[in-house]
Amino acid sequence: MKTGIKSVAILFSLLLMACGGKEKKKEGFSVERAKTTTEKPAEAPADAGTPASERVDLTNKGVGPIQSVTLSPEIDQALAAKGKETYDQMCMACHKPDKKFIGPAPKGILERRTPEWVMNMILNPEVMIKEDPLAKDLLMEFNGAPMANQHLTEEQARAVLEYFRTL
Amino acid sequence: MKRTTYLSLTLLALASVFTSCTNQGKKSNGALTSNAAERVYVPPGQYDEFYGFLSGGFSGQLGVYGIPSGRLLKVVPVFSQDPEKAYGYNEETKPMLNTTHGFIPWDDTHHPDVSQTNGVLDGRWIFMNANNTPRVARIDLTSFETAEIMEIPNSAGNHNSAFVTENTEYVVAGTRFSVPIPQRDMPIKDYKGNFKASLSFLSVDQDNGHMDLSFQIRLPGFNYDLAHPGRDKSHGWIFITTYNTEEAYTLQEVNSSQNDKDFIAAVNWKKAEEYIKAGKFTTEATEYAHNIYNEETHTATSTIKKEVRVLEASELPGLVYFLPTPKSPHGCDVDPTGEYIVGNGKLSADLTVHSFTKMLDAIENKKFDGEAYGIPILNFEDVLGGTVKQPGLGPLHTEFDDKGNAYTTFFISSEVVKWKVGTWEIIDRKPTYYSPGHLSIPGGNSQKPWGKYLLAMNKITKDRYLPTGPELTQSAQLYDITGDKMVLLSDFPTIGEPHYASMVPAELIQPKSRKIYNLEENEHAHATTKDSDVRIERNGKEVHVYMTMIRSHLNPDNIEGIKVGDKVYFHLTNLEQDFDVPHGFAVMGAENAELLVMPGQTETLVWYPKKVGVWPFYCSDFCSALHQEMSGYIRVSPEDSNIELSWGLGD
């Protein structure tokens, strides 16, 4: 019975609040402005110190739909030309071929990354910047500007990858 | 004993809280005793069951709401300029508001009607009328944008519009105000016999929705108020209420209410098609604008058309019949079977229901009671299907559920009344707050109603919400109609004045909703679909800036060599190809609006630099963590300066 009364009382006070009883809000805020305490990524990479864009990792395949890519020894020029077309329209606003811009330059990317990683970065950027350690570091290195998902098809992404081989 | 007192005191206090809570300005709350809150509550992240498309009345726009929650999802600009989306301000959509009276930035819209296939809502398009400068718009339900506007010639007060036949063969639009046709300089007092009305049939291309003014039927100079195309067995007919059969032209409040009965005009449009085919029309010279928005060029064009085919009702037998209907009928509504035509005589004590079968019989056996301007008047008793006796005061509109019930709004007695089709008995009545006009049931004007909810749209709001000065929001009220008795679930405020509304099951529209415009399909004449095409071109005093936008920069973001007196066109292309990443564009001192450019789309803003200086421009729609950085400068030099045109980004 007592519990019953108690809960009625609680209900009563809840109703009072719902009815327009205002809670006082605390105004103001404070910020510690110490410059040195920038956030560190949870898992510090082994070669911390080298910018992510210069780090070489030829085993990480990234996170996304691409499990395995086979590159032919010869560059498929027709495919690369198609890839350039897509690249110019969809990517160039942020990635200049051989110069750091909003994002890193793709020139020589296959000396530093697996083809799978490159394609997953194109196809699955939202997840990559959250789950892939390299992509996470790249996001910080490039000013917190996340890569836009331009919704390329796997075919288009593969062609863009071929184009990267020509740079 | 003590405990009991304590308990009753607590309960008493509790009750008083309830009372004080519900007494906040409310005279009544029919929802309190039920679980109404649960029935309109859509949990965060979940979707409403229906789309509600409510006309925006004198806002000229279309409000899109989630039903049952009453959440506002979008305001689609249709007949009025909208600075939020640059509709009617950017160069691409200005032609949408072109008419033979010039550019018209506002109108008054009343009746959205969803396209149908086999008498069932199909969720492809919504058609809606402009009342003041007669037009009909088509809104595309994949993009939720206005795709087409057709001006209606030989019309005035396009209230009786826009109503869709059961396979969307036609959208029908009738004249409320009769006028001289063709328009000419003549004394108003010579109205009688000289003023005429038009009933326009706009055919609809089933592939792309494009409208064409197929023909008009010329009618006597009454006021044609509302219409309902026949359904099922009466498919091929359209029924139209008239008032002012007195042909009064002044103090209509009194002079148009003299006759004991006005008419419902029954128009056989299949017969009209036969007459057109047989060449029984005259081709009249006229003028009307036809405006189409092209989704590939992202640009509207306006074409002035010069001719219309006209059928003269008084000269073509079997085309139109008049059904006498008591006292200035307003709404004209056909039940899902197509048998019954309800005339909501707004000054009548009873609801008059005509029978389609009896009408055909009366026509066949020539049971006429005279004629009006050569059009046969059928004998009232011979077409009467039934009467709903004394249901309320001021009936305006009726819709139907899927169980053989009808629901009528009563403006003066401020209620919705449920009655049985066929037996005409009254089953239930519920007050509305206050004075409803139209009501809507999903599919309630078609062969297939989804009889779950009823929305009453009220003309008077008064004390239903916190006051906001003399002008109040408009009010809609949602009822659950699944049981014998209607249950009031909620009130929600609406934009403008909602007249009619269409509610559509979400599943018919949601899967088709467009996400982006494909960059590769962008055919805009001034598109910049590659960053390498970014440029500025000067042609005398006209400057064209081909600018791109992507998270989070505008390219170029530094522009020099612009001069006072130039006319600058900013052609913005949004290079994003991801859902829900529009970018805005605003430049200081612009006299028009911002742009709001959807992914893959191109839009153009004209800017007149009037002051020397360096002026900022920026993205006005928060797009990313670096949105604040998405900005640039344009340098404006004196008119006689010789600064070269130049531009750049990060150079």
Q: Domain holding B628: CATH number?
A: 2.60.40.420
Cβ pair A92:B18 closer than 8 A:
no
Q: What pTM does this model have?
A: 0.89
Residues B470 and B350 in one domain: yes
For chain B, give the mean pLDDT: 94
Residues B552 and B492 in one domain: no
Q: How many CB pairs under 8 A join A and B?
A: 73
Residues B508 and B618 in one domain: no
Query: Nearest CB to A145: which of B11, B532, B626?
Result: B626
Kindly give the pairing relationship between strand B368-372 and strand B102-103.
unpaired
Residues B334 and B445 in one domain: yes
**Residues found in chain B:** 651
Residues B81 and B192 in one domain: yes
Q: What is the pLDDT of residue A48?
A: 60
Euclidean distance between CA atoms B535 and B648, whole angstroms: 9
Cβ pair B578:A11 closer than 8 A:
no
Query: First-to-last CA distance in chain B?
Result: 87
Average pLDDT of span A9-19? 46
Q: What is the pLDDT of residue B196?
A: 97
User: A30 pLDDT band (50/70/90 cuts)?
Assistant: low
Q: Is the pLDDT of residue A41 over 80?
A: no
Euclidean distance between CA atoms B149 and B267, whole angstroms: 25
Residues B532 and B507 in one domain: no
The angle, 0 to 180 degrees and rounded to 10, between the axes of the packed helices A2-18 and B2-22 is 20
Residues B479 and B548 in one domain: no
B71, two tokens? 């959440």
Q: How many CA atoms lie within 13 A of B167 on its CB side?
A: 8
Residue finishing a domain among B477, B512, B547: B512
Residues whose CB is less than 8 angstroms from the CB of residue A21 and which lie 6 or more positions away in sequence, other chains included: none
In a domain, B45, yes or no: no
Residue finishing a domain among B460, B477, B512: B512
Chain A window 117-156: which residues touch B at a Cβ cutoff of 8 Å? 143-146, 148-151
Burial A3-13 (b: 16+ CB within 10 A, else e): eeeeeeeeeee
Q: How many domains does chain B have?
A: 2
B111, two tokens? 């009746």
User: A46 pLDDT band (50/70/90 cuts)?
Assistant: low
Query: Nearest CB to A93: which of B14, B575, B578?
Result: B575
Residue type, B508: L
Query: First-to-last CA distance in chain A?
Result: 80
Residue finishing a domain among B512, B536, B565: B512
**DSSP string for B64-88:** EEEETTTEEEEEE-SSS-BTTTTBT
Q: What is the pLDDT of residue A134?
A: 95
Q: What is the pLDDT of residue A76?
A: 97
Give me the residues paired with residue B415 across strands.
Answer: B410, B431
Residue among A82, A89, A101, A140 with most chain B CBs within 10 A, to mutate = A89
Cβ pair A144:B10 closer than 8 A:
no
Give the CA distances from residue B589 to residues B81, B264, B543, B594, B615, in Å, rounded to whole numbers and listed in that order. 19, 55, 17, 11, 9
Which chain B residue lies closest to A94 (C-alpha atoms)?
B550
In a domain, B40, yes or no: no
Range of the domain at B353: 50-248+261-512
Considering the domain delimited by A77-166, tell me its CATH architecture. Orthogonal Bundle (1.10)
H helices, E strands: number in chain B = 6, 46
Euclidean distance between CA atoms B174 and B111, whole angstroms: 12
In a domain, B256, yes or no: no
Euclidean distance between CA atoms B618 and B625, whole angstroms: 15
> What interface predicted TM-score (ipTM) does this complex get?
0.78
In chain B, which residues have pLDDT < 70?
1-33
Residues B470 and B584 in one domain: no
B6 CA: distance to closest CA in chain A (Å)? 9
Residue among B514, B518, B531 with most chain A CBs within 10 A, to mutate = B531
Euclidean distance between CA atoms A149 and A124, whole angstroms: 7
Q: What is the pLDDT of residues B165-175, one digit of tens each?
A: 999 999 999 99
Q: Domain holding B213: CATH number?
A: 2.130.10.10
The helix (H) or strand (E) run that includes residue B605 is strand B602-607
Instruction: Please state the φ and ψ torsions of residue B611, each to the nearest 5 degrees.
Output: -125, 140
Q: What is the pLDDT of residue B61?
A: 98
Cβ–Cβ < 8 Å for B87, B596 = no
Helix (H, G, I), strand (E, B) or coil at B521: helix
Q: What is the pLDDT of residue B48?
A: 98
